[in-house]
């Protein structure tokens, strides 16, 4: 039976079988030492001259070869202990070696933290890059964070529901990624910029408390901290208000940090709550809608969460010469009814407030949400106010208006991003470090070589002709 490297410490005097990779091989004249690595760590293996044949095959071993080693766990001689290593008090004296696979020499070092290596190279060989301790640990922590969220929400009566990836455009302010339909020539699916409409439709369906670890796709111009696809903790609740949503979010995040990251210091209000600031206050005091309210910005273990509330409902889009929703058009402007909406929108569109909030951590926006419009007539009015002709509203959002005419409960939600949160918790410089297979800053997957061309037959099936091929 296999023994994991981490369990060798409890097996002194026992015979064990280890499986893993050769992390490092050290030749000490007569003795050969191997640091054997598996997912759980490293253990030192010694090949002694007493077994000549075995020593000879150990001599062939190179970094990253995959091996099965049998041996006996022994206490290390007194002055040979390694306090840095979890298994540093023991070593395994080998009596059998089976080479399961050889490996080419890796293109870069795997026993460093990897920051010193060019990112293009790291992303090209991501499966090797992920073997390094730091990245493996980032993935382990990410999994713990997500597991904590799932567990917390399940305990609070939420259910996780998957929503489609092939869908119709949802306006979150970015460009859509589109997928051509083979069966319906000239028609396209859009990848969801977020599950916004589906989660609202789940409220119409009577689900009341929904969440999803959801992938979102946004074709935005590149920026260091953005990815074409990213992951959100998407939440929606019925019969709720801002206070309840923020209190639930606060409870989840504070308990998550306290449980999984007990060494972090939380900067909170005197009463132990996450501070709440209005958009106006944030802009006046800090000149930004995502202020960094840490006490000491050089302290890597300080976490300062903040809720920013009362955003303006609309902002002027100069390029399109129209008003646009600051968050998204489903967000409820603070008006009582359609008449009041039109009156205010005509008189002072830029001053209208929305029931919208952002969630900020150490100066990063880590999420946003709102109370939604649940009056179909008001929703229609907002779409029209944003410059959509009534036919266009019907074509693009008719399904929402229709659904809302069948008894939609008041509802609202929030969607904190997972990538940024884990990046901050792990003190990583960018979100690519905490995503298993990220894209480059300019949207390429260097390992899979995507995007890439598809063959003529596929294009034909999809009724697509490529007009001009850029050089
Ligand atoms: N769908 C929104 C977003 O992705 C979040 C929300 O309003 O719940 O930003």
pLDDT digits (tens, 9 = 90+) for 335-352: 999 999 999 999 999 999
Please give the average per-residue pLDDT across 178-185, as a whole number: 96
**Parallel, antiparallel or unpaired: strands 356-361 and 276-278:** unpaired
Query: Over the chain, what is the mean pLDDT?
Result: 95
Provide, rounded to the nearest whole percent, the portion of the chain with pLDDT above 70.
99
Q: Is the CB of 415 within 6 Å of ligand 1?
A: yes
| CA–CA separation, 199 and 330 (whole Å) | 12
Q: Does residue 245 line the site of ligand 1, with CB under 6 A?
A: no
Do 96 and 208 fall into the same domain? Answer: no
Number of domains in the chain: 2
Q: Mean pLDDT across the stretch 154-160?
A: 98
In a domain, 292, yes or no: yes
Q: How many CA atoms lie within 13 A of 162 on its CB side?
A: 3
Query: For a pocket test of ligand 1, which of 234, 331, 365 has the largest count of ligand atoms closer than 8 A to its C-beta?
Result: 234
Q: What residues make up the domain containing 421? A: 127-311+354-374+409-434
Over residues 373-426, the pLDDT tens digits come to 999 999 999 999 999 999 999 988 999 999 999 999 999 999 999 999 999 999
- Rounded to the nearest whole angstrom, what is the distance from the C-alpha of residue 233 to the centroid of ligand 1? 10
Ligand 1 nearest atom to the CA of residue 372, by list position: 7
Q: Which residue is closest in CA terms to ligand 1's atom 6?
A: 369
- Shared domain for 279 and 361, answered yes or no, is yes
Whether the ω angle into residue 451 lies within 30 degrees of 0, i.e. cis, is yes
Q: Is there a domain that residue 242 lies in?
A: yes
Structure tokens at 276: 């709440």
Give the pLDDT confidence score for residue 471 in this predicted structure. 59
Q: Please give the distance, rounded to the nearest whole angstrom, from the Cα atom of residue 138 to the centre of ligand 1.
A: 25
Ligand 1 geometric centre to CA of 377 (Å): 22
Taking the centre of ligand 1 as the mean of its atom positions, its distance from the CA of residue 201, in whole angstroms, is 14
Q: 368 CA to middle of ligand 1, Å?
A: 6
pTM, to two decimals: 0.96
* Domain assignment present for 330: no
Q: Are residues 157 and 305 in the same domain?
A: yes
Residues 180 and 284 both lie in one domain:
yes
Same domain, 189 and 303: yes
Q: Is 41 in the pocket of ligand 1 (CB under 6 A)?
A: no
């Amino acid at each position: 039976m296999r023994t994991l490297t981490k369990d060798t410490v409890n097996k002194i005097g026992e015979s064990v079988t280890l499986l893993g990779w050769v992390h490092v091989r050290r030749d000490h004249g007569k003795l050969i030492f191997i640091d054997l690595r598996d997912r759980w760590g490293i253990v030192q293996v010694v090949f002694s001259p007493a077994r000549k044949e075995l020593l000879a095959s150990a001599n062939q071993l190179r970094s990253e070869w995959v091996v099965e080693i049998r041996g006996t766990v022994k206490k290390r001689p007194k002055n040979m202990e390694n306090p840095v290593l979890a298994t540093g008090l023991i070593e395994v004296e080998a009596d059998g070696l089976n080479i399961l696979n050889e490996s080419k020499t890796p293109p870069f070092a795997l026993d460093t933290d990897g920051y010193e290596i060019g990112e293009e190279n790291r992303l090209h060989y991501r499966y090797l890059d992920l073997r390094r301790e730091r990245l493996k640990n980032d993935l382990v922590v990410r999994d713990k964070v997500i597991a904590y969220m799932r567990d917390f929400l399940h305990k609070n009566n939420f259910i996780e529901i998957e929503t489609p990836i092939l869908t119709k455009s949802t306006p979150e302010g970015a460009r859509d990624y589109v997928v051509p339909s083979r069966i319906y020539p000239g028609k396209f699916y859009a990848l969801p910029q977020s599950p916004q409409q589906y989660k609202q439709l789940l409220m119409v369906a009577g689900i009341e408390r929904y969440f999803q670890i959801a992938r979102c796709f946004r074709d935005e111009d590149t920026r260091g901290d953005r990815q074409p696809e990213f992951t959100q903790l998407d939440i929606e609740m019925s019969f709720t208000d801002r206070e309840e949503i923020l209190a639930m979010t606060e409870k989840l995040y504070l308990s998550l940090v306290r449980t999984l990251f007990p060494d972090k210091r939380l900067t909170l209000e005197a009463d132990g709550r996450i501070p709440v600031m209005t958009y106006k206050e944030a802009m006046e005091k800090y000149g930004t809608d995502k202020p960094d309210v840490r006490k000491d910005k050089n302290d890597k273990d300080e976490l300062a969460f903040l809720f920013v509330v009362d955003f303006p409902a609309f902002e002027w889009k100069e390029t399109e010469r129209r008003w646009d929703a600051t968050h998204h058009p489903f967000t409820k402007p603070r008006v009582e009814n359609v008449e009041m909406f039109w009156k205010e929108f005509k008189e002072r569109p830029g001053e209208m407030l929305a029931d919208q909030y952002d969630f900020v951590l150490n100066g990063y926006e880590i999420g946003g949400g709102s109370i939604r419009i649940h009056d179909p007539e008001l929703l229609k009015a907002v779409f029209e106010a944003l410059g959509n002709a009534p036919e266009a509203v019907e074509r693009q959002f008719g399904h929402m208006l229709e659904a809302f005419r069948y008894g939609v409960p008041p509802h609202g939600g929030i969607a904190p991003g997972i990538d940024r949160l884990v990046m901050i918790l792990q003190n990583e410089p960018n979100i690519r470090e905490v995503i298993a297979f990220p894209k480059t800053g300019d949207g390429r997957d260097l390992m899979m070589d995507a995007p890439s061309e598809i063959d003529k037959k596929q294009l034909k099936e999809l009724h697509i002709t490529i007009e001009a091929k850029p050089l």
